[in-house]
Structure 1
Amino acid sequence: MFTRYEGAAWEERFLPRLTSKQVKELPKEQALVILPVGAVEQHGPHLPVMTDTLIGEATLTRALEKLNEETAVWLLPPVSYGKSNEHFGLPGTISLSASTLQGVIMDIAESLNASGFRKLLLFNTHGGNVDLLNVAIREIRIKFGMTVFYLSPGSLGGAEGLISPEELEYGIHGGDYETSIVKAIKPNWVQDQFAVREFPDLSCLEFLTLEGKIRFAWKMADISASGICGDATKATAEKGRIIQERITDILAQALAELCAFEISEVKKSSEEAVKR
């Protein structure tokens, strides 16, 4: 079970735990700072409204435990609120506007840059933040010259062979995937008796999808009566545990690569290829 502020991630890699003197003296050449960005929003009748933020914190906690000691990764407190206005009208949703969220991200980046950090990862666990955060990392790169990364842990896979093809395609909110993970990390926060199954009907469409090919703008009330898209009735803690272990194995390796990455080497490699 996940417990906040306990374990190696929080004791050894939680940046605000350090004093100003310690932060000043940190080697920063390859140091990667992670800013988790989540959401507080409805996740159907069975999951807590903190689901996205909870999953992000638990995933990073486990991944940072798997890092080699010499990998310089530092964790910031999460931005727990996201751009969740697509869930307005459903109780428990607390949303920031796009401009507010981008402003917060930019201010944090500016502060890190002023402290001498060169690398920042926006670690996102809410689908409604994706487009905004991809804009933000470009703006941070242009304005502050930092090397900035964006990552959603769901993009790393981990659910293969565990959930149905229908869930993989349409289970984007509160279904088997998210419910299984929450059952693995905070089982007493899940109310199984209210779990439901609901998928949007896009079967007659060839090109339009929720998150790929050709997209259409939607709010949750357009595509779901229950507030979820997926099959929460099939969720199990064991599936969630396997998914988390798979994702955090990959994530630990990815974080080491981000620490070593130098953006200046990309163009250099291309120039050498042209010469050849």
Structure 2
Amino acid sequence: MDHQRHLQCLAWPQVEQLAAQPGSTVVWPWGAVEQHGPHLPLCTDGLFAERVLDAALASLDPALPILRLPLQSIGCSPEHRGFPGTLSLSPALLIELTVAVGQQLAAAGFQRLVLFNAHGGQIALLQTAARQLGLLSPELAVFPCFLWNGPEGIAELIPEPERSEGLHAGLAETSLMLHLAPQLVGQERPCDGTGLTIPTGWSLEAGAPLAWFSHNLSSSGVIGDARGASAALGERLFDLLVAGWRQRLDALLNSAWPAPH
């Protein structure tokens, strides 16, 4: 662990000095404690967020003014309740948490906050929280982002129909976990929750999405096909994720955004 990038590992004068630098940025990784089928751990999203973020930060210029916060490991996961082990906080509580932490970072002098989220079920929630924080602390630019959105080349590695149907604990997530923490992956390779008949013009996540619950779609909790998962595919996915987020963070840190009013 690069302690110099972890805000909680620094003394307050170091934080004060870094926050005062132009473009000072804090990245807050977000995960979830939720079911990921019978073969992946509850911490899947949080583990991905931390491993990708730490690798991306390690490849940046050490002089750049960027720190990370500890992982927010419990998120908003009501769609996975009913499977033992899933823990979910309310949207109101997480918005309040984001605003409280963000306001204190702004008061310390930081100029940007990146909400680095790996749980698809809280994308819209963190976008809402970011806007609320922006209203109350307009001096802080807030960037809510999703681990799997942005880096190029990810979709090309996942064949159809898994690319469209593999929403949870399928080929991509199983492969990535096989690369990063194979000791946490069980022997099962489920294929579940696929081939669903969705009303024309609607979808589970893209376009006009449905407010779905995993227990209505899948008996195992998986929505996708993990049978072709491999550590080799996971390594390729990891490399693309790290390269993509390294590029985006570097571009942000070397920009003048937000422009002075």
Normalising by structure 1, report the TM-score: 0.89
Identity percentage of aligned residues = 35
Q: Root-mean-square deviation (CA), in Å?
A: 1.6
**Of the candidates 162, 176, 186, which is equivalent to residue 171 of structure 2?**
176
Residue 105 of structure 2 corresponds to which residue in structure 1?
112
Give the deviation of 1:139 after TM superposition: 1.1
Q: Is 1:57 aligned to residue 22 of structure 2?
A: no
Paired position in structure 1 for 2:216:
222
CA–CA distance in structure 2, aligned partners of residues 204 and 136 of structure 1: 30
Q: What is the CA distance between 1:56 and its match in structure 2?
A: 0.4
Check conservation: 2:192, 2:222, Cα contact below 8 A: yes
- In structure 2, the residue matched to 1:167 is 162
Deviation, structure 1 residue 251 = 0.8
C-alpha distance in 1, partners of 2:45/2:100?
Answer: 22
Alignment correspondent of 1:86:
79
Aligned residues of 1:158 and 1:247 also touching (Cα < 8 A): no
Pairs within 5 Å for 1:1-276: 6=1, 10-26=2-18, 27-145=20-138, 146-155=140-149, 156-191=151-186, 193-203=187-197, 205-259=199-253, 260-264=255-259
1:203 Cα deviation after fit: 5.0
Q: Give the Cα–Cα distance (whole angstroms) in 2 for the partners of residues 203 and 219 of structure 1.
A: 15
The answer to whether the 8 A contact 1:32-1:258 is kept is no
Q: Hey, what's the Cα distance between the residues in 2 that align with 1:103 and 1:28? A: 27
Mapped to 1, the partners of 2:130 and 2:180 lie a distance apart of 30
1:224–1:157 CA distance, 2 compared to 1 (3 A): farther
Cα gap change, 1:261 to 1:228, in 2 (>3 Å): farther
Whole-angstrom distance in 1 between the partners of 2:227 and 2:256: 42
Amino acid at match of 2:234: G
How many pairs are equivalent?
257
C-alpha distance in 2, partners of 1:28/1:103? 27
Residue 89 (structure 1) shift:
0.8
**In structure 2, how many angstroms separate the alpha carbons of the residues matched to 1:165 and 1:30?**
41
- Deviations for 1:239-262, whole angstroms, at most 9, x for unmatched residues? 111111111111111001222242
CA shift digits 1:184-228 (9 cap, x unpaired):
11010001x222011333456431111112111111112111101
Amino acid at match of 1:107: A
**1:158/1:92 Cα in 2 relative to 1: closer, same or farther (>3 Å)?**
farther
Cα distance in 2 for partners of 1:262, 1:159 equals 27
Letter in 1 for 2:172: Y
Distance 2:17 2:229 in 1: 46
Query: Quick check: 2:4–2:10 contact (8 Å CA) kept in 1?
Result: no
Contact 1:122–1:133 (Cα < 8 Å) also in 2? yes
Is the helix fraction higher in 1 or 2?
A: 1
Cα offsets for 1:29-49 (capped at 9, x unmatched): 211100111100000000000
Deviation at 1:102, TM superposition (A): 1.0
Task: Please list every run of 5 or more consecutive structure 2 residues that lacks an aligned counterpart in the other structure.
Answer: none
What CA distance in whole angstroms lies between the structure 2 residues aligned with 1:93 and 1:16?
27
The residue type paired with residue 238 of structure 1 is A
